[in-house]
Structure 1
């Protein structure tokens, strides 16, 4: 069963742009990325869009559909009515390069700022010994496909460009939490999260978890536990007193 759908697609570059109207044929079982490809093939051959796997595993085709951050390849046309106008725009939190393609280099910059896994210096590689129970809490975070939808929807950077310098965003605060949960990591990840990567900016609205295509509970399982551990080590009066006593001795 086929029908003609109404689309509004953002066209432009870093200097200027606008939403343009298109009518595109839709076939049963298709996703939004299929329609964007048909639009390229039939009406707008110069339309720029990122994509790779078309299976929801590479994170390349991130965009905003009707204002909501989504993967184009995982958004089925059957979720919309045949009379609905579907608006497709680039990720709002990042600079536009052209059409639906944005410059997400901010995220790679933040990734480079996080020190990698650091085992104890006296522990040789062959001496690593862990049980599944040691890593099962953080294993969920390894499902991340780095689509950066959580980064895009986080209002700390989405609505406040000036925060980007001091705020890593939910994807990379989750990475710090993952390392902090690792039984063999030796760095002070709690201090890094709070002082260097802006954990305090997060007010746990759960918007990052809401758009995650891998259904990772970023807020509940990574950010809130990290905030709790920071509070325990930095603001608990008994811990503060114990640190004072140890420093004197």
Structure 2
């Protein structure tokens, strides 16, 4: 096994502030960035805070920015960097720092709670749901999400504009809305919930300008923009400007005549 000394810059600090700290650390064949962070903890920086769990690219815990790009540390191989290249590891920029590489991603859980759950169809019990395989396949892609929040981190709507967080759910949760709206058994509309309207009015769908940056960083390869956000935008626009829907709304809003 060959090894070499790599140069790393790792952000150290907390909510009060901090900065990049230089390290030289051994790298062995086949290692990933998370291996190096663990080696730094073991040999040079025992108090370095980092969040991780599975080390298999399935828990989404070890999200960070590596050379400025949102990535999973456990899925970023050292072989993608030149041996003379300095590797910079910083916390997710969109979320508040707790300490070192650990950020407070509570924003995402707040947004998750704001998305109404699947509404079961009336009259069907557990085990009685029936769907076409095509519909199963379409929503299955979205269920591959591992909640790493890299798409949320890279979305410039909240990354560069803190003031948008109140009104914008972000790509991960707009994708959840799209998944439910596409679900052939979701009975939301029958219960009075218009997912297309809430996507626009409550979750900030109009803020998304489909730059596909969320898709580019997704470690699961989900085509968030093409398969979720653009179709949801199309469905929301169709609903808003459908002349029959417009006429129905006008009729419902007509005040009762006084006799």
Other-structure match for 2:230? 224
> Which residue of the other structure, out of 219, 223, 228, is the alignment partner of 1:213?
219
Other-structure match for 2:195? 189
TM-score (norm 1): 0.95
Gaps of 5+ in 2: 189-193, 255-259
Q: 1:58 deviation in Å?
A: 0.4
The alignment partner of 1:97 has SS state of: strand
Q: Distance in 2 between matches of 1:186 and 1:238?
A: 21
> Which residue of the other structure, out of 216, 236, 239, is the alignment partner of 1:233?
239
Q: 1:126 deviation in Å?
A: 4.8
Greater alpha carbon shift after TM alignment, 126-135 vs 16-25:
126-135
Do residues 201 (structure 1) and 219 (structure 2) align? no
8 Å CA contact retained: 1:52, 1:60: yes
Other-structure match for 2:90? 89
Gaps of 5+ in 1: none
Q: Distance in 1 between matches of 2:128 and 2:195?
A: 23
Q: 1:148 deviation in Å?
A: 0.1
Other-structure match for 2:77? 76
Other-structure match for 1:31? 32
Q: Distance in 1 between matches of 2:182 and 2:251?
A: 27
Q: Deviations over 1:46-97 (max 9, x none)?
A: 0000010100000000000000000000000000000000100000000000
Q: Distance in 1 between matches of 2:165 and 2:74?
A: 28
Q: Distance in 1 between matches of 2:129 and 2:158?
A: 38
Q: Distance in 2 between matches of 1:192 and 1:68?
A: 31
Q: Distance in 1 between matches of 2:136 and 2:247?
A: 31
Other-structure match for 2:117? 116
TM-score (norm 2): 0.92
Q: Distance in 1 between matches of 2:92 and 2:117?
A: 28
- The two structures, once aligned, show a CA RMSD in angstroms of 1.5
Greater alpha carbon shift after TM alignment, 181-190 vs 66-75:
181-190
Q: Distance in 1 between matches of 2:128 and 2:238?
A: 31
8 Å CA contact retained: 1:135, 1:181: no
8 Å CA contact retained: 1:177, 1:223: yes
Other-structure match for 2:178? 177
The alignment partner of 1:143 has SS state of: coil
The alignment partner of 2:12 has SS state of: strand
The alignment partner of 2:143 has SS state of: helix
Do residues 140 (structure 1) and 162 (structure 2) align? no
